[in-house]
Amino acid sequence: MHDLVARLLKLRLRFRNNPAARAYVDRALLILAEAAGGDPDFEALDQEAFTLAESLSQRFDPPRKVRVH
């Protein structure tokens, strides 16, 4: 987990001038911090990770092609 935290901190520094990207990194760091806590609610953390992934996918995945008949 140490390597993952280090990578996220590097991303946070890289995106320090981009508030939207920094917010995504902060959400990921929060998930990790809560998971490492004393009594994590893994179901809630799993849902938060899924929500974060969906948000990233909607924002950065290429648009789907529309079929034209």
The amino acid that residue 12 corresponds to is R
Give residue 69's pLDDT: 64
Dihedral sign for Cα 18, 24, 25, 29, please: positive
Q: Determine, yes or no, domain membership for 36.
A: yes
Q: Which domain holds residue 47?
A: 2-60
Other Cβ atoms within 10 Å of 22 Cβ, number: 16
- For residue 63, pLDDT beyond 80: no
Q: Determine, yes or no, domain membership for 69.
A: no
Distance in angstroms (rounded) separating the CA atoms of residues 68 and 4: 43
Give residue 26's pLDDT: 95
Say which residue the tokens 């948000």 belong to. 55
Give per-residue pLDDT as tens, 7-59. 999 999 999 999 999 999 999 999 999 999 888 999 999 999 999 999 988 88
**Could you tell me if 4 and 10 are in contact, meaning their C-beta atoms sit under 8 angstroms apart?**
no
Choice between 2 and 22, residue whose per-residue pLDDT is larger: 22
Number of domains, the chain: 1
Choice between 45 and 66, residue whose per-residue pLDDT is larger: 45
